[in-house]
Structure 1
Amino acid sequence: MAAITVRSLDDDVKHRLRIRAAKHGRSMEAEVREILVDAVAEEEEPKSWVIRFHEAFAAIGGVELDIPPRTGGHREMVKFD
């Protein structure tokens, strides 16, 4: 595991970090780790709504949809006169 040092951290930021860590029942170090993990995770490519929809239904066993057959021929083209 890597270690980093943060220098010149504003005293107010340190104070707010301490309060935030206490609210979450963590040490300041653990809170900083969690914040960094969350910050990096946000940089991942956002999932499309199709993938999120699929994952949501896959978690409950999926959904089978009946696709109606296509009915003959071509449709008329819309005219914008």
Structure 2
Amino acid sequence: MFKTARFWLSLLSLIVIILNLTGQDDKNLLLFFTSPLGMIALEYFGNDVSQEVNYLLHIGFWFAIGWLIDLLISRLRRNV
């Protein structure tokens, strides 16, 4: 479990969200620049996207990226 990219990227995503919730990221720059889906949602929907949706997009995006990295690593190990 601790050796997967899904775990570590999701954990880093949660840390970014916790920093945002505690006020350490008062201008939302860290959350904005580490969430490509959040940028796309902001572009299409403007400021109508709630903060909770941004958090879910952030966690979901980094979990999916971690899953893809784990998939690529497992296929590379299988072929070698």
TM-score (norm 2): 0.32
TM-score (norm 1): 0.32
Q: Select the structure of larger CA radius of gyration.
A: 1
Higher helix share: 2
